[in-house]
Homo-oligomer: A and B are copies of this chain.
């Protein structure tokens, strides 16, 4: 059991190191030697978990969705909003997430790595959440779930990319807030709009309250 725990921990250490190296250097320029040096594990341990650079990249990509997890909220649209702010917040500090997003968005598609997988997975998750929102009467009847989900995922990707390129993601909270200010009136029923919280520091507040076990802005 202790051995298994150690293996899990070692694997995690390697994935985090790989994420950081992919973030800094991109897929093509990254070598296994660089990941080894960053992770400070033995070559044997690394190859035991990951036989190739492709498998390292896939593991980093596979982590992405779990890093968008947020506490459930009675209002499902608020939960979607929260997810974007929390993801944006983590994107500023979590090297594994940065590396995963870089692998998704850089146009290098090494054979054997499904680098566009996160696009599809995010869209599927948002469709599910929008369906819950629809069932609760939160959405305008004009909303087409897949179109709106794809738009949210695509627009978010570009907004964070531009924020990274121009401001090192310093203004990402503000930009996500601007995104929602423009989109929500086309998505939410009018009665819900004033109760939704999409202020720039929403991510910080959601994470703080998740730690303390409280719910923020449960107006729904």
Cross-chain pairs A/B with CB under 8 angstroms, 11 sampled: A26-B106, A28-B29, A102-B107, A115-B165, A119-B166, A151-B159, A153-B158, A157-B157, A158-B159, A161-B161, A183-B183
Verify if A120 is at the interface (C-beta below 8 Å from B): yes
Verify if A187 is at the interface (C-beta below 8 Å from B): yes
Smallest CB separation, A80 vs chain B (Å): 14
Question: Which applies to chain A's interface (DSSP): helix, strand, loop or mixed?
Answer: helix
Smallest CB separation, A68 vs chain B (Å): 16
Which A9-64 residues have a C-beta within 8 angstroms of B?
26, 28-29
Q: Which of B144, B157, B178, B181 contacts A162 (CB 8 A)?
A: B157
In Å, the complex CA distance between A166 and B153 comes to 12
Verify if A6 is at the interface (C-beta below 8 Å from B): no
Chain B residues with CB under 8 A of A183: 182-183, 186
Per-residue contact bits, chain A 114-134, to B (CB 8 Å; 1 contact, 0 not): 011001100000000000000
User: How many A residues face the partner with a CB closer than 8 A?
Assistant: 41
**How many copies, total?**
2
Residues of A within 8 A of B (CB): 26, 28-29, 102, 104-108, 115-116, 119-120, 144, 147-148, 150-151, 153-166, 175, 178-179, 181-183, 185-187
Interface contact B28-A119, CB-CB below 8 Å: no
Interface contact B154-A162, CB-CB below 8 Å: yes
Chain B residues with CB under 8 A of A163: 154
In Å, the complex CA distance between A29 and B106 comes to 13
**Closest partner residue, chain B, to A177 (CB atom):** B147
**Closest partner residue, chain B, to A187 (CB atom):** B182
In Å, the complex CA distance between A201 and B79 comes to 34
Smallest CB separation, A152 vs chain B (Å): 9
In Å, the complex CA distance between A175 and B181 comes to 20
- With A151-B175, A156-B158, A185-B185 given, name 12 new contacts (CB 8 A): A26-B107, A105-B107, A119-B165, A148-B178, A148-B182, A150-B175, A151-B178, A154-B159, A154-B163, A182-B183, A183-B183, A183-B186
